[in-house]
Chain A
Amino acid sequence: MSDAYQVAYEREKQARLAAEKLLDEKTREVQSSIDMIQHQFNDLMRQKKESDYLLAVARLTQLNEGLSKSVQQYTQESMLFLGAKFSRYSFINEGKIKISSTIGLDEFLPALKIQAYKKIYGHHDRTTVCIKDLNQIELERICEKNDVDRVVLLPIKSFGKVTTVCEIYLPKTIDFKSEVLDQCQVAGYQIGGMLERNANNKKLEDSFSEITSSHDRLKQAQAQLVQSEKMASLGQLSAGVAHEINNPIGFVMSNFGTLREYIDVMSEYFTLSGQLLAVSDDDIAKKMQAIDDEQDIKFIFNDIHNIMDDCDDGLRRVKEIVANLKSFARGDEEEAEDFDLNTCIENTIKVVWNELKYKVTLHKEFDETLPLIHGHEGQIGQVIMNMLVNAAQAMEQEGEIYINTQKQDAIIRLTIRDTAKGMPESVIEKIFDPFFTTKGVNEGTGLGLSISYGIIEKHGGTIKVESEEGVGTSFIIELPCGK
């Protein structure tokens, strides 16, 4: 019996040894699994760091916060990613460092010699340089103090040129595979791509705004064309009318002279016959005396003189208006000539007076020493006319218009101020736009001010407007003096 257990005991001992061996093997296996897991974990952490970094940079390119902010953040992220102490980024233009900024260092970091950068322009790729090889004593001192022994230079390129260099200063203790730097380089390309996209967008925007403005100019030119067409046909019409009126006025005026002479003769004749009647007993003489007593021949003759004077006045005014109509009718085809602004204003007022007289009190404050202006009197008149009409139309009841002319250096300033209802900001913004009007469909074309603007511009001048709702509006026109 004990023999049997002796045998069993021996077996059991063997089995235990085998178990211990197995345990050893398993322990080793577990250990190597742990090693592997640790390794994989490290790998994963590194990958996570990498993807965090690339993600941060990708986010940067998405945020698109402008050149220097993006570059600064890229440098910062790369510095963190590589575990660096401090860094610097420099913008490069035509082989020169334009702006430099240091991150993570309190003291001044001397610039790298341009040769260090030259390397980068050469092959356009990241490089790592030992601080010792740079031969810059002050730089070396600062690096030594911070335990830094090398610097990674990362270029950012846009349109094939290096525009920015980031310097990442690495401590001696840091060590990594070169793939890590490849990541930084790839991220740098992304930033560069973003900068290129920005530049392209800018170009696109520029050409868009150019197209918009030339479109606006075209529209304005077209509007002006329409207006000048309008003025041309209006001109022809008024020229015709003026001609038609001119002839009858001519002979009415010459007949009028003769009439005045005849009346003088008759007046004398009647005075004498009056004296004769007073001393005559004749029946006819009595009847004539009765008419004189009733009608007062003397008064009639006085009144005839007054009426003749008034008619004379009227005729002269008709003549003047016709002359104005003719000058107004002459359009662009006229050669530019020197003219007096004050006179031009006077003439314009005469033309539009009928529109204004019931509503407007005009105040003229003319600088009598104004030099002449070189340009088209008719066109400037047109501008002034439109402003006067606009002002009158903007008056709800009666109001004032102040017309002021003034010379300042080589500039002649014309200010037309009214006390009409004024304009809100939203209207002021648009008044020079062709076809902008607040008036009814048949009342305003909305061309007046846009054409005025064009005319003043063509004369080398400017128009400005100041307006306050409920108070009034001033248009300030400045024109250069003629030579």
Chain B
Amino acid sequence: MQGIIFNALEEFVLENADMATWNAVIDKSQVASKGVYTSGVNYDDSEIVSLATQLCSELSIPLEDGLKLFGEFLFSFLMNNGPIELGQYDNAQTLLENLDSVVHRDVKRLHPDAYTPFFSYEPVDKETGKLTYFSRRKLCMVAEGLLKGAAKHYGQSVSLNHSKCMHQGADKCCWDIKFEQLNP
């Protein structure tokens, strides 16, 4: 997992709690990196899981909710601090359609040791579509948060129906998605 994601998590904690909480989370989760995260460096996947789990118990919220919230936060964080410029999309659907072939591919190009997930979005009509997700990390909750973040970014509302989930034994996660343009 890329350092930038850990940076985002730290930012997320500072925004919603404080530095002491973050220090405690690092301390208690006993991660190998001791909480030193540099954007552009790759860290073991297990660290983010440990940190997230620790964080949620510290804040006494369910892990799933925490991941969702983080995902939502992560989208704007990546938009602002991420290594990739993306200006040419004007709604979340088009971003989704180009996620694998453009956005994450660029991530992979900049950081060849990054592991990016598999996404495919098939539009049904202008507003609705089917999204498939696969990753060895099974971070579908983060994905849901990211989708919310994306919708918010483009002034859209999003409704998600998580029809299949890897955590329920499916080999992939699937969503029926509907984005609606909100009036400004």
Contacts and interface: CB of A to CB of B under 8 A. Distances in A.
- DSSP majority for the B interface? loop
A4 interface: yes
B18 A4 contact: yes
Contacts of B20: 1, 4
A4 B36 contact: no
Contacts of A7: 19, 23
Interface in A1-55: 1, 4-5, 7-8, 11, 14-16, 18-19, 22, 26
Interface in B1-48: 18-20, 22-23, 26, 34-41
A14 B36 contact: yes
B38 A18 contact: yes
A11 B38 CA distance: 10
Contact count band on A:
10 to 19
A8 B40 contact: no
- DSSP majority for the A interface? helix
Given A4-B18, A22-B41, A15 B36 contact: yes
Contacts of B37: 15
Contacts, number: 32
Contacts of A19: 38-40
Contacts of A16: 38
A22 B4 CA distance: 14
Contacts of B22: 8
Contacts of B35: 11
Contacts of A26: 40
B65 to A, nearest CB: 25
A15 B41 CA distance: 10
B96 to A, nearest CB: 31
A94 B183 CA distance: 97
Contacts of B39: 19
Interface string B129-161: 000000000000000000000000000000000
B95 to A, nearest CB: 28
A18 B41 contact: yes
A175 B40 CA distance: 44
Given A14-B36, A15-B36, A18-B36, A8 B41 contact: no
A5, A8, A22 — which one has the most chain B CB atoms within 10 A of its CB? A8
Given A11-B34, A11-B35, A5 B19 contact: yes
A3 to B, nearest CB: 8
Interface string A63-103: 00000000000000000000000000000000000000000
B176 to A, nearest CB: 41
A262 B20 CA distance: 180
A450 to B, nearest CB: 86
B36 A11 contact: yes
B122 to A, nearest CB: 37
Nearest to B22: A8
B173 to A, nearest CB: 33
Nearest to A16: B38
9 contacts: A1-B19, A4-B18, A4-B20, A7-B19, A8-B19, A11-B35, A18-B38, A19-B39, A19-B40
User: Which 5 A-B residue pairings sit nearest by Cβ, starting from the closest?
Assistant: A14-B36, A18-B38, A4-B19, A4-B20, A19-B38
Interface of A: 1, 4-5, 7-8, 11, 14-16, 18-19, 22, 26
